[in-house]
């Protein structure tokens, strides 16, 4: 079984001293096999703390509204550790996230582990980068009748980023999603990320990009 979706992300990021914040709105529109229709909406506010060097820890709440009713809507709590290393030639990000998924039809949550690896390199045209990432999803604890223990899905993405100004990044790419039932979804991904100025009365260093991968 194959399908296609349009995934759109709009994100605001910023930093107050050592505390980082990220607010994301994610829209999914189903393209195939059904006619164009909104499938899901996700709203995710997150807070993170830089532990020093390339490591930060994050916690967040997400509301995932399943508009097409193909699955129950859910509330998610998640925690993650993020490693981010940036050099002149390569930017590397690795993320390990645990999600507690509270489906509205169940009283106990499912627990899912997500591991993401992401890299980007500059392109010959200034302000453009080529990005590739892959993410593995595994349910440590399933939810009866909705999700099972074990492998859930993978998402592999290739995209181009454009950063015309310091406070804005645009991204356009393709994602292949493979689920536990071997269903394939070919997703067009578009993202806009807005960066708010860093505010710290004790540190006037310029804010760097906050690598909180979407979804």
DSSP class per residue in 156-203: EEEEEEEEEETTEEEEEEEEEEEETT--EEEEEEEEEEEEPPPB-TT-
Flag whether 175 is in a domain: yes
Flag whether 140 is in a domain: yes
CA distances for 113 relative to 101, 117, 150, 154, 177, angstroms = 11, 14, 10, 12, 16
Q: Tell me the CATH number at 152.
A: 2.40.160.40
Q: Which structure tokens are listed for 215?
A: 């979804």
Q: Are 151 and 142 in contact (CB under 8 A)?
A: no
Flag whether 189 is in a domain: yes
Flag whether 214 is in a domain: no
pLDDT mean across residues, the chain: 91
Model pLDDT, residue 211: 59
Q: Which residue has the tokens 């960066």?
A: 195
Flag whether 88 is in a domain: yes
User: Length of the chain in residues, anyone?
Assistant: 215
Flag whether 171 is in a domain: yes
Q: Which structure tokens are listed for 5?
A: 């979706």
Q: Is the pLDDT of residue 62 over 90?
A: yes
Flag whether 205 is in a domain: no
Over residues 169-207, the pLDDT tens digits come to 999 999 999 999 999 999 999 999 999 886 554 443 433
Q: Which structure tokens are listed for 150?
A: 């074990």
Structural domain range at position 9: 2-195
Model pLDDT, residue 16: 87
Which range is least confidently modeled, 28-32, 41-45, 208-212? 208-212
Flag whether 207 is in a domain: no
Backbone Cα Rg of the chain: 18
Percent of the chain with pLDDT strictly greater than 70: 92
Average pLDDT over residues 81-108: 94
Q: Report d(CA 7, CA 191) in Å as an integer.
A: 8
Model pLDDT, residue 24: 97
Over residues 99-132, the pLDDT tens digits come to 999 999 998 999 999 999 999 999 999 999 999 9
- How many distinct structural domains can be found in the chain? 1
Q: Is the pLDDT of residue 33 over 50?
A: yes
Tell me the helix, strand and coil percentages in the chain, rounded to 5. 0, 70, 30
Report the greatest alpha carbon distance in the chain.
55
Q: Report d(CA 163, CA 186) in Å as an integer.
A: 25
């Amino acid at each position: 079984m194959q399908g296609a979706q349009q995934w759109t992300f709009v994100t605001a990021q910023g930093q107050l001293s050592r505390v980082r914040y990220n607010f994301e709105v994610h829209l999914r529109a189903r393209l195939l096999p059904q006619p164009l229709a909104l499938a899901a909406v996700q709203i995710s506010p997150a807070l993170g703390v830089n532990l020093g060097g390339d490591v930060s820890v994050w916690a967040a709440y997400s509301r995932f509204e399943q508009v097409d009713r193909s699955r129950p809507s859910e509330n998610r709590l998640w925690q993650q550790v993020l490693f981010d290393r940036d050099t002149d030639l390569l930017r590397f990000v690795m993320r390990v996230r645990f999600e507690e998924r509270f489906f509205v039809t169940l009283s106990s949550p499912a627990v899912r582990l997500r591991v993401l690896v992401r890299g980007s390199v500059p392109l010959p045209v200034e302000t453009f980068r080529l990005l590739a990432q892959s993410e593995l999803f595994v349910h440590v604890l399933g939810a009866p009748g909705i999700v099972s223990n074990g492998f859930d899905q993978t998402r592999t993405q290739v995209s181009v980023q454009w950063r015309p100004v310091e406070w804005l990044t645009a991204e356009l790419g393709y994602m292949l999603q493979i689920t536990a039932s071997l269903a394939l979804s070919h997703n067009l991904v578009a993202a806009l990320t807005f960066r708010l100025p860093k505010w710290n009365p004790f540190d006037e260093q310029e804010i760097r990009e906050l690598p909180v991968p979407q979804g």
